[in-house]
Structure 1
Amino acid sequence: MLVIRISGPFVSISNAILSETLRVFSTTSSADSRVVCAELILTTFIPSLYKLSINSTLQFLSETVQMILVFFSVIILLILYKSNSFYLKKGFGNILVNDFSVYLKLERSMSENTISAYCSDVMLLDGYMVSDQNSSGVFVLEKATPEILEAFLSRLHSKNLSKRSQARIISSLRSFFQYLEMEGKTTSNPAELLDIPRLKPYLPVVLSVEEVERIISSVDLSQPLGHRNRAMFEVLYSCGLRASELISLKISDLFLNEGFVRVTGKGSKQRLVPIGQPAAQSVIFYLGSRSKGPVNAKHGDTLFLSRRGSRLTRGMLFLIVKKQSTIAGIDKDISPHTFRHSFATHLVENGADLRAVQEMLGHESILTTEIYTHVNSSKWRESILKCHPRFK
């Protein structure tokens, strides 16, 4: 016996054909029934199946296309989300801190390094609140109280953290809780009344002109990266750049014929800084050797490259400066920022206008620039005697 199992959309058609076949068998002879059944199958059942298969195929294709479109849409959204998360958020392990990092970048235009420092400070508090050292019973940042913050800072003080670091952490916490208050996640700022430690005036390490020249002249130009290193030292001292500004410098930012360099500083703010002839000449020599080495396609416009052709990191630059200062016999504790301090100090010592120095350094406030007025006492005395009417 042949048994045909019919399911799905064919059930209604099969039942209709079966009912019609039984009706024909009951009213006609067997020979006529076979003819009528054959005609019924040819004229009704097969066309219906054909029409149904066409409709089912079209419906299947339509649903498949929709599923494919949904699938790729989800993939694109995930890629966009991940790229935005990588660009805006640093993944600090706390949703509030991640959102805070976005706020600092988009609304306060802070640099990546500053954002990282602020968020790391807040994560120190987060780590303290979930640790056994916190006996308050409050474990989430938005519920923090002034007492918890005081206990947290006391804990940091017991670890002999410098006053400057403590002041920065308090500043970070104030900004964080101010953000939470603005977003309606807290009703007050528990860090508002925290006392910032008194800081002694910070006098940066400064190189003399002779020491700067010793470092620059100690670079071995016969080495593969000699011209690069010399050009970096020349630009650091000639333009007074931050480490992040130097490694981000692009070839398209150079206007050597005009004697200027376009610098992108904190908050993506741009400024034009004069570049001296020795520094410009060193950059030109370096560009001639740069093309002979490997160049990563993503960093084709980056000026200073590593030996592998990618952009230098701040850590790499720090090691290069430390190594070269040792070779030059400089026993001071210097970093790339020391060249910036030396640049500003030498300008002020030689009578440069403080406002002009402020513009070249990219300082928002002239109060930051005033630190470089710690000039040599003999020059200070000479300047006073020269300008005072009673000493002329």
Structure 2
Amino acid sequence: MAKTSQGEQSYQCDPLIDAFLDDLWSSKGLSDNTLNAYRTDLRHFDRYQFERGRKLVDVTQGDVRDYLAFRVEQKFARTSSARLLSSLRRFYTYLVQTKQISTDPMALIESPKLSPQLPDSLSEAQVDRLLGEPNVEDPIECRDKAMLELLYATGLRVSELVGLTMEQMSLRQGLVRIVGKGGKERLVPMGELAITEVEQYLKYARPELLKGGQSDVVFPSNRAQMMTRQTFWHRIKLYALRAGIETELSPHTLRHAFATHLLNHGADLRVVQLLLGHSDLSTTQIYTHVARARLQELHQQHHPRG
């Protein structure tokens, strides 16, 4: 630990960070992943200030700018710094509202301008190849087949898919009920192909995975427990490799494909917004760029004067 004006001390996280996160959890109902992102950003900032003899309640605009300059020197991505600034804004707004400080050091700090990041997606042919890879005779791959079909049919987040419980799903109505970010509930139609695959999985493969045990999770692991997001992500990469798909994938690739393909086939943007669970239409609008780029590509390939 570098020597500071506080003397040689070991770093301890400022308790205001935990108080802030507790407030977010109770008032906003944010997911664990979102809270962990806030925690990571704030602790890095706190430690940087600690090593310079500053407490979070004493931070000035100059201190924030110094930290941003440090991040530039360390070659942090601009998207990462933009997220950090969002965390700091929310944190210092909380400190002002709870009268921990009187002046907000973030008031005049501007966020870096970011160009729209187009999410990686797959063509419809690539999705067909990916979804055709699992061997449904194998219980684990039968489960994966149902998960992939459901993911592409609904546009769920991977965390929503692996945490799906039996009571959230109605095969008779063909709907899944999702409680997403901020505790917002939405109903999403499953589609006939996904319903068929899930029915087959529930009838034949799920009992074998549970090995006589009980679980409310729709898609348990081979240990009859809730699967992690990371495990399912590795399963997706396995099938992509087997299908010869070289496109760079992310855990949300099928969610992106779901939205892009809906728009390509004429779906209304606001309908896609509701299905994805976006609170702000601007978040969904990035998919119009993806769809437009794909249509331009098709036009250039197939139009005689493209």
TM-score by length of 2: 0.88
Select which of 355, 366, 379 maps to 2:281: 366
Select which of 31, 34, 45 maps to 1:125: 45
Determine the C-alpha separation between the residues in 2 that align with 1:382 and 1:235. 28
* Aligned pairs (5 A) from 1:1-392: 93-131=13-51, 134=52, 137-138=53-54, 140-288=55-203, 289-294=205-210, 300-374=215-289, 375-376=291-292, 379=295
Determine the C-alpha separation between the residues in 2 that align with 1:344 and 1:303. 24
More helix by share: 1
SS of the residue corresponding to residue 249 of structure 1 reads coil
CA contact (8 A) 1:262 1:273 kept: yes
Calculate the aligned-residue CA RMSD, in Å. 2.1
Determine the C-alpha separation between the residues in 1 that align with 2:245 and 2:297. 29
Specify every segment of 5 or more residues in structure 1 that has no aligned partner in the other structure, as ranges.
1-91, 384-392
AA at the equivalent of 2:193: P
Structure 1 residues 241 and 191: CA distance shift in structure 2, 3 A: same
Determine the C-alpha separation between the residues in 2 that align with 1:120 and 1:282. 39
CA contact (8 A) 2:13 2:47 kept: no
SS of the residue corresponding to residue 191 of structure 1 reads coil
CA contact (8 A) 1:296 1:309 kept: no
Determine the C-alpha separation between the residues in 1 that align with 2:226 and 2:35. 21
Corresponding residue number in structure 2 for 1:36: none
Deviation at 1:108, TM superposition (A): 2.3
Deviation at 1:182, TM superposition (A): 0.9
Specify every segment of 5 or more residues in structure 2 that has no aligned partner in the other structure, as ranges.
1-11, 300-306
TM-score by length of 1: 0.69
Determine the C-alpha separation between the residues in 2 that align with 1:309 and 1:379. 44
Determine the C-alpha separation between the residues in 2 that align with 1:377 and 1:311. 38
Cα deviation 1:311-365 (Å, max 9, x = unaligned): 1111112211122211111111112301011101111111111111111111111
Corresponding residue number in structure 1 for 2:304: none
Q: Which has the higher contact order (CA 8 A, sep 6+)?
A: 2
CA contact (8 A) 1:259 1:276 kept: yes
Cα deviation 1:96-120 (Å, max 9, x = unaligned): 1111111111222222211110121
Corresponding residue number in structure 2 for 1:38: none
AA at the equivalent of 2:46: D
Deviation at 1:260, TM superposition (A): 1.2
CA contact (8 A) 2:142 2:201 kept: yes
CA contact (8 A) 1:304 1:311 kept: yes
Q: How many aligned residue pairs are there?
A: 286
Structure 1 residues 196 and 296: CA distance shift in structure 2, 3 A: farther
CA contact (8 A) 1:228 1:286 kept: yes
Cα deviation 1:286-316 (Å, max 9, x = unaligned): 112111223697x711111111111111111
Cα deviation 1:103-151 (Å, max 9, x = unaligned): 11122222221111012101001111222xx2xx42x211111111111
Structure 1 residues 158 and 110: CA distance shift in structure 2, 3 A: same
CA contact (8 A) 2:93 2:104 kept: yes
AA at the equivalent of 1:290: R
Determine the C-alpha separation between the residues in 2 that align with 1:185 and 1:378. 51
Determine the C-alpha separation between the residues in 2 that align with 1:196 and 1:286. 47
Determine the C-alpha separation between the residues in 2 that align with 1:333 and 1:381. 19
